[in-house]
Structure 1
Amino acid sequence: MTSSAPALGLLLDVDGPIASPITRTIDLPAITRDLVELAVRGIPLIFNTGRSDDFIRREVVAPLIAAGLPAGARVHGICEKGAVWFSIGPQFGAAGVSEIQVDETLAMPADFATEMRQLVEAEFADSVFFDRTKRAMVSVEQLTSIDTATYLPIQARFDERALDSLQRRGFGVSRLDDVRRDARGEVQWRIDPTIISTDIESVVLGKDLGARRALELLAVDGPLPLAWRTVGDSRSDYAMADWLYAQGYEVAHVDVRPADGVPEKPYLVLESPSGAIHDEAGAEFLAACLAETA
């Protein structure tokens, strides 16, 4: 456990800033190298993602440990937008992660998950796959063999089928700006389309919940950072910085895909100075962090 508060903590989305949204892997060696060096320098790193713990173990944890992540570094994973969490490091054995914690109260109904898996297998298998590794969310992801223009109309058709299924069960569902409520006026579940997938999830889940989990994990292994940088590629990622700002932290958000529009915020919003996007912008940001902490 460290004795002095770190000057900075990093709260990182994975798809986009760290992993390529095209290949879904860390393609730039500098990203892994710089993440390890930041951890060595005592900067807490928390991956706050909608991905499953299985994906993070394979695509993030394994490369970090192979690159020399030291035991005892303050590195943690928050998956499925706050439903799943764990710590990361070689001290946890071959898997590189601590015991997986899951908030079962936020899990989608099992019969709905089964129906969506069967729907994908019967009607959408040539364009998407059902993510069997999710513990709380239901996620359907674009195959890398098709392009975005092909995927988006297919995604819209799937989303409508998912919405119909939830409404047949009497659940209130929110989808973009269309909010439909149950007899008690409540919304329990949300359909959240991303650029490569659709996540169907509890409305409690979100990058803000992930930020709260991050502070809870860090409180166990040392002092909390004095300031934060959050990094993401979608508008929903701003919720990390929103939550930290509301708690009184100095925070700046790094947007690696600002083409969707940068909202007005009471904190600093940063973009790539070169105009890079996605993981190239993420690599620039990590390199800048290293320069600042040298």
Structure 2
Amino acid sequence: MPDTHSPLGLLLDVDGPIASPVTRTIATPSIITDLLLLAAANVPIAFITGRSASFIREQVVAPLVAAGLPEKFRIYGVCEKGAVWFPITGAGMGEVEVDASVALPPAVVNAVRQLVADRFADTMFFDETKQAMISVEQRVDVDTATYLNAQSSFDEKAFEILAAHGVGVRLKDRERPDAAGLVPFRIDPTIISTDIESVTLDKNHAAERALAFFAETGRLPSLWRSMGDSRSDYRMADHLHEAGYDVSHVDVRPDDGILDKPYPVIVMGEQIHDEAGASFLDYWVDRLNLR
């Protein structure tokens, strides 16, 4: 790939700013169009998400390929908050690598799967596509209030399952260390799911992995934007700031509380979720004169 300097780099959460949290798909066509225009301008784009590689293949990569990826581009995926990673090529998703060292014990995975089947199948489902973490997600036919009420009960029962298996676990302010006094896993509720994951997984580490990949394929821009809908997404910008880049973070769900950071935090007016994400991408396509 020629070393064409990019004016911008993007680290993008998927659920919220790119995929609708309601439909779990890219519901705004301009998002695909603008991502392709930015990719054609050599903008490095990383999708950094808690989602599985399978989800990204079906809901993000397939629409990009179908719409016609440019001849040369730099797009990368880091899934399950850093446990799974892969390049994206003109043919689609490249080789998927998994950090098996952060995976939960199979007995715990099976016990949580059974818990969902026995007690919570009317409000949520067990995500069978995850390769390192456990995710249990709201059913799309269930309203938010009903799901959140069930979620709190599920989280407590999942906590007890991990503790009963001798796995050190944290849920909010509660901790149950393992036999060595360690707490290597956490239960992390989101607005549409509960993730059970290694405490070493986070989006700052995922951002570091993405930048290392981009550094192998061309020069890195000095200007970066990260975008997400949860407080943990700020960690992408944290890494960029600490590494010395000019960064701002776009918060597409600011009602949860805008964090006080040493870099600018951007909100898209009254827009939220993928509507805000679409407007943000559209802004940069216009600013870089890519139409």
TM-score (normalised: structure 1):
0.95
Does residue 138 of structure 2 align to residue 169 of structure 1? no
Q: Please report how far the alpha carbon of residue 210 of structure 1 lies from its aligned counterpart in structure 2 after TM superposition.
A: 1.0
1:76 aligned counterpart, secondary structure: strand
1:131 aligned to which of 86, 106, 127 = 127
Q: CA deviation at 1:48?
A: 0.2
How far apart, in 2, do the equivalents of 1:248 and 1:176 lie?
Answer: 32
Counterpart of 1:281 (choices 269, 276, 285) is 276
Distance apart, 1:220 and its partner CA: 2.0
Q: Would the aligned equivalents of 1:71 and 1:89 in 2 still touch at CA under 8 Å?
A: no
For residues 88 and 60 of structure 1, what CA distance do their matches in structure 2 show?
10
- Cα distance, 1:183 vs structure 2: 4.5
Amino acid at match of 1:196: I
- Structure 2 residue identity aligned to 1:89: T
Contact 1:70 1:89 in 2 (8 A): no
**Unaligned stretches of 5+ residues in structure 1:** none
Give a deviation string over 1:116-143, Cα, whole Å, max 9, x none.
1111111111111100000000000000
Q: What is the CA-CA distance between 1:107 and the residue it aligns to?
A: 0.9
User: Which stretch shifts more, 259-268 or 241-250?
Assistant: 241-250
Alignment map for 1:79-228 (pairs within 5 Å):
79-90=79-90, 92=91, 96-228=92-224
Q: State the match for 2:67 in structure 1.
A: 67
SS at match of 1:164: helix
8 Å Cα contact 1:175-1:191 kept in structure 2: yes
Q: CA deviation at 1:185?
A: 3.5
Give distance in 2, aligned partners of 1:42 and 1:62.
20
Counting aligned pairs with the same residue, the percent is 56
Q: CA–CA distance in 2 between the matches of 1:2 and 1:82?
A: 28
Q: Partner amino acid for 1:57?
A: R
CA contact (8 A) 1:230 1:252 kept: yes
Name the CA shift for 1:121/1:24 in 2 (closer, same or farther; >3 Å): same
Conservation of the 8 A alpha-carbon contact between 1:2 and 1:223: no
For the aligned residue pairs, the C-alpha RMSD in angstroms reads: 1.2
Match status 1:265 vs 2:257: no
Q: Distance in 1 between matches of 2:66 and 2:89?
A: 11
TM-score by length of 2: 0.96
Q: Which amino acid aligns with 2:118?
A: A
**What count of residue pairs does the alignment treat as equivalent?**
289
Separation in structure 2 between the aligned mates of residue 174 and residue 247 of structure 1, nearest angstrom: 29
Q: Distance in 2 between matches of 1:218 and 1:137?
A: 25
How far the C-alpha of 1:165 sits from its partner, in A, is 1.0
Amino acid of the structure 1 residue aligned with 2:246? E
Q: Any conservation in 1 of the 2:5–2:42 contact (CA below 8 Å)? A: no
Q: Is the 8 A contact 1:174 1:191 kept in 2?
A: yes
Contact map agreement 1:155 1:198 (CA 8 A) in 2: yes
Letter in 1 for 2:11: L
SS in 2 for 1:113: helix
- Quick check: 1:290 aligned with 2:282? no
